[in-house]
Amino acid sequence: MRRREFITLFGAAMVWPGAAMAQGKMPRIGVLALGNPDPTLFLKGLKEGLRDLGYIEGQSIQFEFRSADRDPANLAPRAAELVALKVDILVPFQTPAATAAKQATKDIPIVMGGAGDPVGTGLVASLTHPGGNITGVSGAGTELGAKQLELIREILPDARRVGALINAPDPFSRPFLAQIQASAKALNIELVPFMLNGADGLEAAFDAMVKSRTNAVIVQPSLPHEPTARLALKHHLPSFSPNPLFPGSGGLVAYSAHYDSLYRDTASLVDKVLKGRSPGELPVQLPSKFWLAINLKTAKAIGVTVPGVMLTRADEVIE
């Protein structure tokens, strides 16, 4: 998705959202995304959630959208653009965008959409009392990284070496990797991390995993899921990720927060801030539903047998 999509520009002085509604002004929501994973589902869920709460786009609410086009270096200037437009609320999608939004303003309310471990990454002081001008929804918690290892053990009981593709520029990378390492130790699995900068180094990482006879790979959700899934399929390497879009691109398994409910929870918090609540006093929401997706076509292509009991537990099976 390009950064100029979903953009509607008009000049207006920034006021506190509750005051804007009281004065009959149309609030503007500034949505910021890295661009990977594709933010289309997030935008759809956010808009649908707000529509269910009575907001009509173009009549009672307006959206400004900025994408970094998958380049983390673009996040700061895109965040600055939204701040300069004096949007009423910033809604960053995932941790890199949330970090850029927080660095861009201490005044405009921020509602995070699916940020990973917001306490561990320093986005908020605590989940119950985030403080400052920020609240939101936590999506890919560190425990989801450990869950991928449990699924690997269930599908590949003899797995002893697992690769981990880590998106180094993402602030979530450090707690995500730490949780996987702790879980790997408990399961007696050798974890081999590969620190990447987006898609840079993906092919070299897969070559190294194949040469060292790696049994499976875990993919951090902010990495480009399409080329990663294709390379895993090409090298017949079972791949797992907390990104719900991953199996649709050819990855083997995804266990993640249920993103539709997560996006609607984000909309609920936006509504509360628009009605005058202070974001720093609104607790960060944790996911209450989770999603297991399995690409059975990929499993057959790489010669992996997924246990029948797991298939019955899956929310989505791609055949």
pLDDT of the residue at 9: 32
Mean pLDDT of 89-101: 94
Q: Does 243 share its domain with 182?
A: yes
265-289 core/surface letters (b: 16 or more CB in 10 A; e: else): bbbbbbbbbbeebebbebebbebee
The rounded mean pLDDT for the chain is: 89
pLDDT band at 268 (very low <50, low <70, confident <90, very high): very high
| Angle at CA of residue 261, ends 104 and 127, nearest 5° | 50
| 8 found inside a domain | no
| 3 found inside a domain | no
| 251 found inside a domain | yes
pLDDT of the residue at 17: 54
Mean pLDDT of 270-282: 96
Q: Does 250 share its domain with 180?
A: yes
Tens digits of residue pLDDT in 223-256? 988 999 999 999 999 999 998 889 999 999 999 9
Instruction: Return all residues near 179 (Cβ < 8 A) that are at least 6 apart.
Output: 142, 143, 145, 146
Joined tokens for residue 132: 């400052």
As a whole number of angstroms, the distance between CA 51 and CA 20 comes to: 18
Tens digits of residue pLDDT in 193-229? 999 987 889 999 999 999 999 999 999 988 988 999 9
259 versus 271: the higher-pLDDT residue is 271
pLDDT reading at 15 higher than 60? no
Q: Does 117 share its domain with 63?
A: yes
Q: Any idea what the CATH number is for the domain that residue 222 is in? A: 3.40.50.2300
Could you give the number of structural domains in the chain?
Answer: 2
pLDDT of the residue at 272: 97
Handedness of CA 118, 119, 125, 128 (dihedral sign): positive
Q: Does 86 share its domain with 136?
A: yes
Instruction: Return all residues near 90 (Cβ < 8 A) that are at least 6 apart.
Output: 30, 32, 79, 82, 83, 101, 104, 105, 108, 109, 110, 111
* Distance between start and end Cα atoms, the chain: 27
pLDDT reading at 115 higher than 60? yes
258 versus 8: the higher-pLDDT residue is 258
| 98 found inside a domain | yes
pLDDT reading at 84 higher than 90? yes
Which of these ranges, 9-13, 106-110, 236-240, 289-293, has the smallest mean pLDDT? 9-13
pTM for the predicted model, two decimal places = 0.80
| 230 found inside a domain | yes
37 preceded by a cis bond (ω within 30 of 0) = yes
- Print the domain residue range for 173: 142-257+291-318
Tens digits of residue pLDDT in 180-196? 999 999 999 999 999 99
Q: Does 155 share its domain with 225?
A: yes
Q: Does 51 share its domain with 89?
A: yes
Q: Does 247 share its domain with 268?
A: no
| 188 found inside a domain | yes
Sequence-separated contacts (24+) of 297-302 with Cβ below 8 Å = 298/233, 298/247, 298/250, 298/251, 298/252, 299/252, 301/233, 301/236, 302/233, 302/236, 302/237, 302/238, 302/252
pLDDT reading at 36 higher than 90? no
Longest dimension (CA), the chain: 65
pLDDT reading at 16 higher than 70? no
pLDDT reading at 296 higher than 70? yes
